[in-house]
Structure 1
Amino acid sequence: MNKLVDVKNVSISFKRKHVLEAVDCYLEQGEIVGLVGPNGAGKTTLMKVMVGFIPISKGGIMKTRDIAIEALIEQPGLYPFLSGLDHLQLFVEDRKTTEIDYLISLLDMNEFIGKKTKEYSLGMKQRLGIALALLNRPQVVILDEPMNGLDPYSVKLLKEAIITYRKSGTTFLISSHILSELEQLVDRVLLLKAGRVVENIEHPERLENFENDLLAKLA
């Protein structure tokens, strides 16, 4: 078992309000983990903690040395007067133009990649955001409700990209408050309720088989 990120007894408080309480969870190499919980459960906060955006009140996080983590949390931060291609060329490491071409094809962005991002729809922005997260092949990619509001075609492309990169060893943590979005995609599910991980479900065959139990635990 190769744990890339190991969260130990982490608590976060804002103005004396507990947002996360004694959270224990981990990410292993090459797995897709779903982070499921209602709005306000602390999903986004936990993701921000993992990438170091929020200081920890208690506990700690152990990471594999020199691990690269990329995250798409909330909306992708794009420069409106740059094109999608400009963004990819700006952030790519070691001039990996072949990786840019590969992602443009994988996420079907040829028709709009040369346009300024101020003209992009939500689906276009999200596809570009995913491409930027995957661009330099990090070991861990964290995605905060990446399918929220997307059309079915964009969801299909996103899932295919996640599965493709997972096969090459990339680990994914994907949050959602809609269980069906993660069906047939995840290897493991973390249930988050009121800032606590209430269950870690290993290797669900089909998420829909657990839906009633999950909803009961999150109620």
Structure 2
Amino acid sequence: MITVTSAAGGVGRLLVRQLATQNVPVRAVVKNAAQAATTRADGAVEVVVGDLRSEETLRNALVGADVLYHAAPTQIIDERPIIDLLIAIGPANGLQHIVFHSVIHPNLHQLTHHHQKDIAEGILRSSGIPTTVLRPSHYMQNYLEVWEFLQAGVMPYPVSPDSVMGVVDVADVAEAAANILVDPTPHTDRVYDLSTVELTRHEMAEIW
């Protein structure tokens, strides 16, 4: 059994679908009944509804699971309590491998999200639990949220148009994650940066 947290998220949904098409049993962790219905439709064979910061939720998510794909919901900034719980109760419930969804360049500590991911990675490295870290770069799909602005010729990002940004498609992240989850042993203690091309905003504008 593979457990996927944040299974109703952009990567999570595609990951559940990827595994389901390979007939891999997936237990999905989501936060409400609506998301539970969605993830069942995506192919999850078991669903846990709850808050990842709850020990009861995590126990239900991990019992009998060999491998965990852990991606924290975006609204959770401090991941340490969740990671500490995973380490404390995971092995006793049969957990053998964690694939951790991190972020590109976690050493950029001036960015809170990156700093928290760096802390979580360090805790997992010291835990003794076989772990693989995925560090996706900026999602291409993020720009769909501001697509109307882009069509109007406005780039609503407070960064220099000359700065370089690596981008990746969430579908590629999900595919890479699925490949690792079905055979995690060769990827133990590996860290993978997931990106495709690096573009300035000028280059992005030309493509759009």
* TM-score, structure 1 as length reference: 0.32
* TM-score, normalisation: structure 2: 0.34
Larger RCO: Structure 1 or Structure 2 (Cα < 8 Å, ≥ 6 residues apart)? 1
Higher fraction of strand: 1
Query: Greater share of helix residues, 1 or 2?
Result: 2
